[in-house]
Amino acid sequence: MKTVKQNVHYHIGNENETDMYSEILNGLKSMPKSISPKYFYDKKGSELFEAITMLREYYPTRTELFILNKYKYEMADAVGTDSALIEFGSGSSEKVRTLLEAMSDLKEYVPIDISKDFLYQSARALSIEYPDLNVHAVSADYTAEFEMPKLDSKRKVVFFPGSTIGNFEPHEMGKFLKQTAELLRPGGGLLIGVDLKKDHAVLNAAYNDKKGITRDFNKNLLNRLNRELLANFKLEEFSHHAFYHAEKGRVEMHLVSLKDQMITIGNEEIAFEEGETIHTENSYKFTIEEFHEIAGLCGFTPKKVWCDEKRWFSMHFLEVR
């Protein structure tokens, strides 16, 4: 009988310990009201985000894929031949496939994601497509501490595409970059996608698409609270508001209450005034120099930057000092 070598391995990196109800309630009781953007991604929210990435106005995903495809051999060179590639928030591992085309000698790929079932399913599919690649799927919240599997490669490189770094607040970004530098050890690398500052009209359009998918994505958060936390938000009584705040260098998303109203969530009541908002997301945009400065303060040396022709999006390779 032929024995098949198993090239996919499953690991639990950490367990999800956040208490969604207390976190959301705290945010709704704060002034101004806010909810972390991590709560957008229930099943429906993930589907809506997927639809956003295909919109004409939403340039980041398309542009990043273009850069990846154009420069994948240079990126493969930067990653090197004896490195393990670790992806944070790997989802369906779609973007890494472009890189893998240029990395035929990669031996270890470590996708890390919080949605365990989807992660394991995607890892299995990838391991079948790449029989010579060892896939170590780690179910974990990569922003918290997590346990890494034992790897054979000499060096580690983290792949963090999508400009997800832009959804972190500045203090979270610093903490995350320092934590990543520690995981990578000196000489390790970070290949990261970073959205750039640009014409405000382009930014405003990207978060206010004509089809209203971003509006639905934002409002879906209220549906989630109704379903999972027994809230009674009426979706038609809130509107989507997204705009680029130039001084803060970020696109802000809010849900605006269209009238004075009381909301119940679990056994708590929350009052809204007409025009009051729940701040649901910040998406920070950077110049290349700004990003280099922050990364430099967190222990990284910038090695290489790749951009599209309009300089709307950037991919960086940085090394830990």
The yes or no reply on residue 52 touching ligand AVI (CB under 6 A) is yes
Least distance CB 186 / ligand AVI (angstroms): 29
Contact residue for ligand AVI among 63, 98, 139, 164 (CB under 6 A): 164
220, 48 Cβ separation under 8 angstroms: yes
Q: Tell me whether residue 321 is exposed, middle or buried, using C-beta atoms within 10 angstroms of its C-beta: 0 to 12, 13 to 18, 19 or more.
A: exposed
The yes or no reply on residue 161 touching ligand AVI (CB under 6 A) is no
Closer residue to ligand AVI (CB): 52 or 119: 52
| Locus of tokens 């170590």 | 136
Q: Which x/- pattern over 168-207 shows residues binding ligand AVI (rule: CB under 6 A)?
A: ---------------------------------------x
The yes or no reply on residue 122 touching ligand AVI (CB under 6 A) is no
* Span near ligand AVI by CB under 6 A; candidates 4-12, 17-25, 162-170, 263-271: 162-170
Rounded CA gap, 70 and 111, in Å? 23
The yes or no reply on residue 314 touching ligand AVI (CB under 6 A) is no
* Span near ligand AVI by CB under 6 A; candidates 15-23, 146-154, 159-167, 228-236: 159-167
Rounded CA gap, 221 and 240, in Å? 11
Rounded CA gap, 89 and 37, in Å? 14
Least distance CB 27 / ligand AVI (angstroms): 17
Closest residue by Cα to residue 315 from 46, 51, 72, 6: 72
Closer residue to ligand AVI (CB): 76 or 253: 253
Closest residue by Cα to residue 221 from 273, 265, 261, 275: 265
The yes or no reply on residue 163 touching ligand AVI (CB under 6 A) is yes
Contact residue for ligand AVI among 83, 98, 134, 167 (CB under 6 A): 167
Least distance CB 276 / ligand AVI (angstroms): 21
Strand-by-strand arrangement of the 238-245 sheet: 33-34, 277-284, 250-257, 238-245
Contact residue for ligand AVI among 63, 134, 214, 220 (CB under 6 A): 214
63, 312 Cβ separation under 8 angstroms: yes
Least distance CB 166 / ligand AVI (angstroms): 5
How far, in Å, are 199, 244, 252, 284, 286 from residue 247 at the CA level? 14, 9, 12, 11, 12
Q: Which residues contact ligand AVI by CB under 6 A?
A: 52, 60, 162-164, 166-167, 207, 214, 281, 283
